[in-house]
Amino acid sequence: MNERLHRKKRGGEFTELGFELRGALHPGLVRAELDAFFDRLLDVVEARNLSIGGRAGRDDALDYFVTCDGRASAAEEDRATLIASLSRDTAVARHEEGALRDAWDGA
């Protein structure tokens, strides 16, 4: 495959990496506590120039995929920063993060 197709299909040296983020918040948080948690989460995500997306549903569930904004990869430092932030947050009951992987693989 030529370089143009690698870039277009985000393959080879143009692969973009991201990681899964799953977990749960403590049950019984009131709306103001939930809003404050998501504000803190988004502050970390935006400060690292990341994007986060996933399934909406129960307010206490975390089920997201984290990538870098634009055509770039999330780095291990981004992952570590997000993990540290969640570990310190009193609203988080548990969390687990996947390894960096191809964000466009669909697996």
Q: What is the pTM of this model?
A: 0.78
Please tell me the number of Cα atoms within 13 Å of 94 on its side-chain side: 2
pLDDT at res. 56: 58
Q: Coil, helix or strand for 41?
A: helix
- Please tell me the predicted confidence (pLDDT) of residue 58: 65
Both structure tokens of 98: 């996947």
What's the CA angle centered on 91, arms 89 and 93, to 5 degrees?
95
Average pLDDT for runs of 10 along the chain of length 107: 47 73 92 93 94 75 88 88 95 94 75
3-state SS, 1-38, equals CCHHHHHHCCCHHHCCEEEEEEEEECCCCCHHHHHHHH
Superfamily of domain 16-101: Ribosomal protein S6/Translation elongation factor EF1B (3.30.70.60)
